[in-house]
Amino acid sequence: MSDKTVTETSVEFDAKQLQATAVLYRQNKKMVDAASGYDSIDDAIAGLRAAWEVLEVQEDKGGRFTPAVELGFGSHNAAQIAESIMGLSQTVGATRKSFATLGK
């Protein structure tokens, strides 16, 4: 057997790659920024999955429960609140704000 020398391969990173990364970041900014608050991407995905699953249950089963008006959801029932949080409704901003306040 011949004795081979292992050499490291240098990978160049250029302006074109930086631009491509920036485009990808911009397309996914909200998710990347949110995930950066976790210890790992796996933790971020687990948190998103857990929250999304309970919101799907709330959307499916929450149609008969309407929270007290002073909580800030108006006349929306729990299903409508979940739809809003998941971006399936036109009242997303106000509902997300009230739901975040309720979660404090």
Backbone angles phi, psi at 10, to 5 degrees: -90, 125
Residue type, 103: G
Please give the chain's pLDDT, 104 residues, in tens: 555 565 666 667 888 999 999 999 999 999 999 999 999 999 999 999 999 999 999 999 999 999 999 999 899 999 999 998 898 876 667 777 787 888 88
**CA neighbor of 80 nearest in space, from 98, 101, 62:** 62
* 3-state SS class at 67: coil
Angle, CA 90 vertex, CA 85 and CA 92 arms, to 5°? 30
Domain locations along the chain:
15-102
How many angstroms separate the CA atoms of 33 and 31, rounded? 5
